[in-house]
Amino acid sequence: MIIDCHGHYTTAPKALEDWRNRQIKGIADPAAMPNASDLRISDDELRESIESNQLRLMKDRGLDLTLFSPRASFMAHHLGDFNVSSTWAAICNELCYRVSQLFPDHFVPVAMLPQSPGVDPATCIPELERCVREYGNVGINLNPDPSGGHWTSPPLSDRHWYPVYEKMVEHDIPAMIHVSTSCNACFHTTGAHYLNADTTAFMQCLTSDLFEDFPTLRFLIPHGGGAVPYHWGRFRGLAQELKKPLLQDHLLNNIFFDTCVYHQPGIDLLATVIPVDNILFASEMIGAVRGIDPETGHYFDDTRRYIEAAAMLNETARSKIFEGNARRVFPRLDALLKARAAAPITEPS
Ligand SMILES: [Zn+2]
């Protein structure tokens, strides 16, 4: 089985974006603020938006299942206040849940949180609870910088975030550490801000003792871990200077990396440097990089090809990357798949 642990609903019907634009207008002009109930998207529209996009490509590439979360760049936690984020997160999470109900064999939902700059992350807990208990979400996306590129929140190691971690531990769900749109002109959203955040999150964990407080907390750092695997020697050296344990013991029971690296040498480096138990297959399809690589003739984000071609991986390692590690890091996914294997469901054709 091939599990893609990083997919967003980037192809939602246009009505969603239109509603969001009205909501953004309503921030300045409360009389124009739409109600959540003004947004109507039919099951047929959802089906069409998935069948012609993500599901078509999954079938082309031989991917079985995607962990599916709301479009990351649209989370835009920096816009409006908690109520704005709360309504928006509820709408986006419900759509991903509906997709998972329409295509239960292919999509399992992961939640965005209604974060807002300067607001206590504990306010996100009701939405987190709803998504886990009612929608069967197996993980969350946690934005370490709800300000959108200005980094006004404390580091992930700060007690500020502990209420969310306590809930994650209670429900045994991991968080993908995933920022949203950059509103800082210095940082391109997907080319700089995303990768900066991946690297920053790792270093925040390295300098802290967060995982002594939460030994079972799990973070998935996307986009191949940003600059982390490439600079692994620097991070090992910094940990040594800081008198921290070896990274293997200090961080690698809790931090995992995905394979959203869009060329063979990058995947080869990831698979050489990072232990295979810490690598989860992902493509972030359909995402930031949608074109075909003229050097290979294949889509940049067709990451399965790189895993298959990585000479340092054997079949056991590939099986862990494609399936085993995701089932270990997302225990609720594992439980769901086991329950389904015992009592198969039929996906409507
Ligand atoms: Zn993403």
User: Cα(72) to centroid of ligand 1, in Å?
Assistant: 6
Q: CA 130 from chain center: how many Å? A: 18
Does 239 map to a domain?
A: yes
Task: Determine the pLDDT at residue 344.
Answer: 79
pLDDT band per the 50, 70, 90 thresholds, residue 343? confident
200-224 pLDDT per residue, tens: 999 999 999 999 999 999 999 999 9
Position 250: which residue type? H
176-207 pLDDT per residue, tens: 999 999 999 999 999 999 999 999 999 999 99
User: Cα(189) to centroid of ligand 1, in Å?
Assistant: 11
Does 34 map to a domain?
A: yes
pLDDT band per the 50, 70, 90 thresholds, residue 257? very high
219-248 pLDDT per residue, tens: 999 999 999 999 999 999 999 999 999 999
The percentage of the chain sitting over the pLDDT mark of 90, rounded to a whole number, equals 98
DSSP letter string, 272-332: HHS-GGGEE-----SSS--SB-TTTSSBTT-THHHHHH-TT--HHHHHIIIIIHHHHH-HH
Domain that holds residue 42: 3-342
78-93 pLDDT per residue, tens: 999 999 999 999 999 9
Indicate the SS3 state at residue 94: helix
CATH code where residue 223 lies = 3.20.20.140
Q: Annotated active-site positions, please?
A: 284
| Cβ-proximal residues to 194 (8 Å cutoff; 6+ apart), any chain | 178, 179, 222, 223, 226, 288
* Distance, CA of 249 to CA of 245 (rounded, Å): 6
User: Cα(243) to centroid of ligand 1, in Å?
Assistant: 33
Does 268 map to a domain?
A: yes
Work out how many domains the chain is built from and give that number.
1
Does 67 map to a domain?
A: yes
Q: Across residues 96-100, what is the average pLDDT?
A: 98
Closest CA to 278 of 295, 254, 249, 246: 254
Does 66 map to a domain?
A: yes
User: Cα(241) to centroid of ligand 1, in Å?
Assistant: 33
Q: What is the DSSP letter of 190?
A: I
Does 348 map to a domain?
A: no
Does 184 map to a domain?
A: yes
115-144 pLDDT per residue, tens: 999 999 999 999 999 999 999 999 999 999
Does 164 map to a domain?
A: yes
28-46 pLDDT per residue, tens: 999 999 999 999 999 999 9
* Distance, CA of 90 to CA of 87 (rounded, Å): 5
Calculate the average pLDDT of the chain.
Answer: 97
Scan for tokens 């939602």, then name that residue: 12
